């Protein structure tokens, strides 16, 4: 229910609330509160907080005429209620209020204010012209169980190194599997931060998580891998994403972060006669950042290989583009097993197209060899058997 307090109120969405929760859980440390104007300008100038890289100021500037009128009327030390989805989410003691420019704010995050850029339009609609700073307290806060889970796993296996990956696994394909295995090869414990978006586009988080859990439970030492949901809010967008990923991973207790070479935020540039990336600009974050190889399937090597070690040209290589593989699945097609494990694609198709067949049992018994026993089969079983037929070579 909406708070009955007499405080002035500010209204935010779940995306802003998730960013506030990250700070309250000390996952964006050294950020501990909403920044005031002086701190805002200092971060813009130096890109640092207490000697540590932080890509842009952490402020709250929600859009909407009512919000802006409320912020402008606030006085220092005044307490304000923050409302999310009709319920009181937090209380904040005002330090100061100041004007910002939404287009500049978006440029700090994405590196551009071009409205045709993915995400820029959505974010700029959420940003108002006035920001407020101060310490806040989240109400009905629960302890972060993922921090506890990671710490317990570290103690159980006596870890020396804890590595991390940030991925969408949308969908989980063979190159993802290779990246996970390669990272796990050189560490004691692996934390996979699985991105959890705010829209319903593509595969739902629960489906992607179940697919990833299947791979971990059946093909990896499962006591050495932990999945942690990561709310994929606007602060993780743009060319500074790797810095935020590194900060969050470190504050979860990881000492290593592995990213793919085709990571959208890697951004190579030329400086002082050498190629560099945003990783070379990271300062003061006590975490080792490694750029993994790009994996492809080579039809000459007949296996999944690193582009760094495959001697054959691009015309022999199949790249793993998650969006294209997802397009096959969304069209109802079963991707080749060289792109995605058949158990995963069968599971995903059964979720994307539930009750797709009018008479699944008849189709199953008419199409595949059976043991003569009447057994119930689901759509996932059907796709698995269908893949086996695709892989039969005697008549091809």
Q: Where are the domains of the chain?
A: 9-138, 145-292, 297-390
Mean pLDDT of 251-265: 83
Contact 258, 179 (CB under 8 A): yes
Token pair for 124 = 């700029």
Task: Please give the share of the chain, as a percent, with pLDDT higher than 70.
Answer: 92
Question: For 211-229, what is each residue's pLDDT tens digit?
Answer: 999 999 999 999 999 999 9
Burial degree of 376 (CB within 10 A; 0-12, 13-18, 19+)? exposed
pLDDT at 275: 42
Of the candidates 303, 308, 312, 288, the one whose C-alpha atom is nearest the C-alpha of residue 161 is 288
Mean pLDDT of 7-31: 94
Mean pLDDT of 339-363: 94
Task: Please give the share of the chain, as a percent, with pLDDT higher than 90.
Answer: 74
Fold of 9-138: Sulfate adenylyltransferase (3.10.400)
Q: Does the structure show a pLDDT above 50 at 269?
A: no
Of the candidates 108, 354, 77, the one whose C-alpha atom is nearest the C-alpha of residue 244 is 108
Tell me what the pLDDT averaged over the chain comes to: 90
pLDDT at 381: 94
The three-class DSSP label of residue 332 is coil
pLDDT band per the 50, 70, 90 thresholds, residue 3: very low
The three-class DSSP label of residue 304 is strand
**Yes or no: domain 145-292 corresponds to CATH 3.40.50.11540:** no
Handedness of CA 13, 16, 20, 22 (dihedral sign): positive
Q: Give first-to-last CA distance, the chain, whole Å.
A: 65
CB crowding 77-101: b at 16 or more within 10 Å, else e: eebbbbbbeeebbbbbebbbbbebe
Ranking 186-200, 233-247, 340-354 by mean pLDDT, the lowest is 233-247
pLDDT band per the 50, 70, 90 thresholds, residue 142: confident
Q: Would the pTM count as exceeding 0.75?
A: yes
Question: For 92-129, what is each residue's pLDDT tens digit?
Answer: 999 999 999 999 999 988 888 898 887 888 899 999 99
Q: Does the structure show a pLDDT above 50 at 272?
A: no
Using the 8-state DSSP alphabet, how is residue 98 labeled?
E
């Amino acid at each position: 229910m909406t708070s009955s307090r007499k405080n002035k109120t500010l209204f935010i969405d779940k995306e802003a609330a998730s960013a506030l929760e990250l700070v309250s859980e000390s996952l964006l440390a050294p950020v501990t509160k909403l920044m005031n104007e002086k701190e805002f300008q200092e971060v813009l100038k130096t890109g640092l907080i207490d000697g540590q890289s932080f890509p842009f100021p952490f402020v709250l500037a929600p859009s909407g005429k009512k919000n802006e009128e409320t912020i402008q009327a606030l006085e220092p030390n005044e307490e304000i209620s923050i409302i999310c989805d009709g319920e009181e989410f937090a209380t904040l003691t005002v330090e100061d209020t100041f004007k910002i420019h939404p287009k500049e704010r978006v440029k700090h995050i994405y590196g551009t204010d071009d409205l045709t850029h993915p995400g820029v339009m959505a974010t700029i609609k959420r940003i108002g012209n006035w920001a407020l700073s101060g310490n806040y307290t989240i109400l009905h806060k629960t302890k972060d169980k993922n921090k506890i889970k990671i710490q317990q796993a570290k103690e159980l296996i006596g870890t020396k190194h804890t590595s991390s990956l940030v991925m969408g696994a949308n969908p989980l394909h063979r190159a993802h599997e290779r990246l996970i295995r390669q990272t796990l090869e050189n560490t004691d414990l692996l934390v996979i931060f699985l991105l959890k978006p705010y829209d319903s586009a593509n595969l739902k988080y629960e489906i992607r998580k179940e697919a990833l859990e299947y791979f971990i439970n059946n093909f990896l030492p499962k006591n050495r891998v932990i999945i942690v949901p990561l709310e994929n809010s606007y602060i993780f967008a743009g060319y500074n994403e790797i810095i935020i990923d590194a900060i969050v991973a470190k504050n979860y207790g990881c000492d290593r972060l592995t990213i793919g070479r085709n990571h959208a935020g890697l951004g190579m540039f030329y400086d002082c006669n050498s190629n560099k990336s945003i990783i070379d600009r990271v300062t003061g974050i006590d975490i080792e950042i490694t750029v993994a190889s790009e994996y492809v399937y080579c039809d000459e090597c007949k296996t999944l290989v690193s582009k760094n070690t495959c001697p054959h040209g691009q015309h022999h290589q199949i790249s793993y583009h998650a969006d294209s593989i997802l397009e096959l699945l969304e069209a109802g097609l079963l991707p080749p097993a060289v792109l995605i494990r058949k158990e995963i694609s069968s599971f995903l198709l059964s979720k994307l197209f539930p009750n797709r067949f009018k008479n699944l049992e008849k189709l199953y018994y008419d199409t595949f060899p059976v043991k003569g026993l009447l057994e119930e089969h689901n759509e996932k079983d059907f796709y698995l058997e269908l893949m086996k037929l695709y892989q039969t070579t005697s008549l091809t």
